[in-house]
């Protein structure tokens, strides 16, 4: 047999082996359910979340879900340590933060111009602009938070 044919067969075999290993790897998801409301939400592996623990720790990032725990920002979080969790999609996070900062800066600029040229009520413009700037730096997230104290339960399930 030709040595280039053997090399090609070896490359195809290695590729198919790698493909089958990743195809059979077990992925997990976080199931958040509330029996009173008959609602449930599934957060898949590697989705962005904002998580609050019982000890007061606030974590924000992609959730890597294992068989019995979560890893967010490199920290291992057990399910019983979660106080509150919410989805935090990148597009919503970007839009709310950047929009608040942009509108706040423009409003603050208009307020400054109104104050310099003696227009009516510059304090309202400046206060509104400052408030919007502050809101933008606090990473607002309008999505619903799922709190354990409100009857939400967390469970790790195999993802399909």
Query: pLDDT per residue over 30-71, tens digit each?
Result: 999 998 888 999 999 889 999 999 999 999 899 999 888 899
Here the contacts of 14-18 (C-beta below 8 Å, separation 24 or greater) are none
- Full-model pTM: 0.67
The pLDDT tens digits for 102-118 are: 999 999 999 999 999 98
What pLDDT shows up at residue 144? 86
Mean confidence (pLDDT) of the chain: 86
Q: 20 falls in which pLDDT band (50, 70, 90)?
A: low
- CA distance linking residue 81 with residue 14, whole number of Å: 41
* Structural contact between residues 60 and 139, judged by C-beta atoms closer than 8 angstroms: yes
Query: 12 versus 64: which is more confidently predicted?
Result: 64
Q: What share of the chain is helix, strand, coil (3-state, %, to 5)?
A: 45, 30, 25
Residue 24 has pLDDT above 60, yes or no: no
* Sheet of strand 153-158: strand arrangement: 39-44, 28-34, 153-158
Share of the chain above pLDDT 90, in %: 40
Neighbours of 129 (CB within 10 A): 20
Helix (H) or strand (E) holding 77: strand 75-78
């Amino acid at each position: 047999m030709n040595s280039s044919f053997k090399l090609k067969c070896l490359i195809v075999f290695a590729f198919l082996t790698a493909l089958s290993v990743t195809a059979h790897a077990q992925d997990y998801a976080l199931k958040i359910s509330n029996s009173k409301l008959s609602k449930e939400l599934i957060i898949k592996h590697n989705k962005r979340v904002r998580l609050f623990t019982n000890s007061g720790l606030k974590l924000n990032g992609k959730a890597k879900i294992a068989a019995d725990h979560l890893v967010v920002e490199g920290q291992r979080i057990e399910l019983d340590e979660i106080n509150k969790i919410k989805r935090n999609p990148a597009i919503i996070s970007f839009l709310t933060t950047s929009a608040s900062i942009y509108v706040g800066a423009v409003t603050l600029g208009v307020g400054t111009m109104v104050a310099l040229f003696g227009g009516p009520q510059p304090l309202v413009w400046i206060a509104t602009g400052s408030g919007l700037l502050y809101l933008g730096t606090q990473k607002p997230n309008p999505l619903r938070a799922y709190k354990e104290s409100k009857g939400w339960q967390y469970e790790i399930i195999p993802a399909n």
